[in-house]
Structure 1
Amino acid sequence: MSPEPMAPRPGPVEPLAQSAALARAWAAELCVHHGDGACCDAYHGFWQTMRLMRLGATLGGHPAHYLEAMAAWAAQPHAHGGVRRVLISGCADYSMLAHLWHAGATVGVDLHVTVLDICPTPLRLNTWYAERQGRPVHTVCADVLAHRPSLGYDLIVTSSFLGFFSPKARAALFQAYRHLLREGGQLVFSNRLRAAPEDVPVGFTPEQAESFADMAARLSADLPPPADLDAGRVRSMALAFARHTRNYPLASEQTVTELAAGAGLSIRQCSVVQSAAMRPAISGPTLGDGSRYLFVVLQR
């Protein structure tokens, strides 16, 4: 299947220079230590700095596909009346919220947004961004599998979330999404495609980690204040990020087809898209290296 092209479209302006420094500070204070002893501060504290250096691509490096899908959903008649309820299921920062609001604004639709993550750091970033925009947002610090709102959602959006779930756990995730969606509600997500066993987590090779850290150190000279850091610290943070990052692959469209069928969700779109090659000279999980992604829209 050939990647589906899409012309770039204007997106929201994100104040990364201001928030990257906050993300580092809040990650050190708030990030969660998981059962295996690992902590997500290496990820949440460095992701926005990576984006400033064009090492990390937001929304899988194809935000235009999200904007189109979210705007198309928002433009449809609302079957349940009242305000449209949206769940952002897992996030690294406020980028999904910014794109969601931007998509709603293009069609003149207001949205009631809940941001859910198991870690307080990205939730703090979303609250900070919402306050800057003068708009309300509801945050929930919880596992999505345990989330039980009083009302369902009209839309659930997420990016590269499948990589956090083993093949055995993915069926439960899709069942949870089905129960969280109102009738007619949609699930929009994308995930990198990688021809590898889906039950074996993939991380950076030692060579990839060193190459990534070296490039990050070189690029640190261009970081704008107040997000600026010295090259040595950036290199250390890059190595910590590489050590932390391990994702379960998504090997093919068939996996999503089977998960959707098992959860009773119909497929509206399932297409291969090309992510932006932010820094083609490097490669590794989560990096903006021009990888192929599967972009999916499901409906209950």
Structure 2
Amino acid sequence: MQNDFLSESAPLAYRESQTLCNGCGWYHGAWQYLRMLGIVSPPYLQNEFYRNAIAPLAVSGDFRRVCISGATDYAMADTILDLWPLPEGAPAITVVDHCPTPLFLNRWYADRVGVKIDTACRSMLDYRNDDYFDLICTHSFFGFFAPVQRGGLIWNWSRLLRPGGRVVTSNRIRPTAGDRVGFSGQQADDFVARVVSAGQELEGIDLSREELKVLAQAYADNYFSYPVTSAEDLRDMFGASGFALERFEITGRESPVSGPPSTQGKSMRVDIVAVKP
């Protein structure tokens, strides 16, 4: 699947974010255009990890209730469904996010591919569900939470899973970063120039050069994350919530010149499959 719908959904996300978002339209309205231009990091870039982690669970038939914990758009749902043994039966997916825009996009995507996706507009820190999930998937999610919040996030994942359920996630590790990272002035200028240049080279994009410049500038001015500086901290947090780590693998290495958050590039990552006993 991967990107098949972007020419349709990017303008849709841009438009809908202007009314659905509450202060985050600069992010949700831009993300799919940035995906089209190959600038940001969707879960497809870790496709080998997700395939190895999720495909066996899908085939087993024991992991049908799936929660996507946080979503910028429908890419995680697309990744999961691409690994499921269709048409034998799609999993029951629930997408949880605090913003209506990615939830709207997931419902739109579900209509396009002929599956049902439920959505819940809640923070993952306090989301509750009376029925246990079999599998929770998320991508590069920890950066949206300050370090003091991450233990509570993982604890809530444990609460939402049945015994034997799993969390599957991959996250960048930035060992030398500060408590909060955004774009420096030079990085912002380089980012805007890169977006405008890529947009001029891509046929079929519906934004003008000036519109792309404004979109990229707003993204660079507003985006920040709380970097994960230690994979071992995550290991300890999963352990404190009772998880057993089926896979905990650090891949890649951090570049000496670390780029801005959310953009593509070589980086150190930790791939995690955690099991609730």
For the aligned pair, the TM-score class normalised by the smaller chain equals: over 0.9
AA matched with 2:116: P
Residue 238 of structure 2 is matched in structure 1 by: 260
Please say if 1:206 is aligned against 2:206: no
Residue 168 of structure 2 is matched in structure 1 by: 188
Q: Is the 8 A contact 2:143 2:226 kept in 1?
A: yes
Deviations 1:159-190 (A, max 9, x none): 11100111111111011000011110000111
Deviations 1:130-174 (A, max 9, x none): 101111110111111221112010000001110011111111101
* Gap runs ≥5 in structure 1: 1-10, 33-38, 276-280
Residue 4 of structure 1 is matched in structure 2 by: none
Q: % of aligned pairs identical? A: 32
Please say if 1:221 is aligned against 2:197: no
Tell me the distance in 2 between the aligned counterparts of 1:160 and 1:22.
24
Residue 136 of structure 2 is matched in structure 1 by: 156
Residue 299 of structure 1 is matched in structure 2 by: 275
- Which of 26, 30, 41 matches 1:46? 30
Deviations 1:54-88 (A, max 9, x none): 1112117212211221112222352xxxx710000
The number of residue pairs the alignment matches comes to 274
Please say if 1:247 is aligned against 2:225: yes
Tell me the distance in 1 between the aligned counterparts of 2:3 and 2:37.
16
Note the C-alpha offset of 1:197.
Answer: 5.4
Note the C-alpha offset of 1:107.
Answer: 9.7
Residue 7 of structure 2 is matched in structure 1 by: 17
Please say if 1:271 is aligned against 2:249: yes
Per the normalisation by structure 1, the TM-score is 0.86
Tell me the distance in 2 between the aligned counterparts of 1:127 and 1:220.
28
**Pairing 1:48-197 to 2, within 5 Å after superposition:** 48-59=32-43, 61-76=45-60, 78=62, 84-105=64-85, 108=88, 110-196=90-176
Per the normalisation by structure 2, the TM-score is 0.93
Tell me the distance in 2 between the aligned counterparts of 1:298 and 1:192.
17
Please say if 1:287 is aligned against 2:276: no
Bigger relative CO (Cα 8 Å, ≥ 6 apart): 1
Q: CA RMSD for the aligned pairs?
A: 2.2
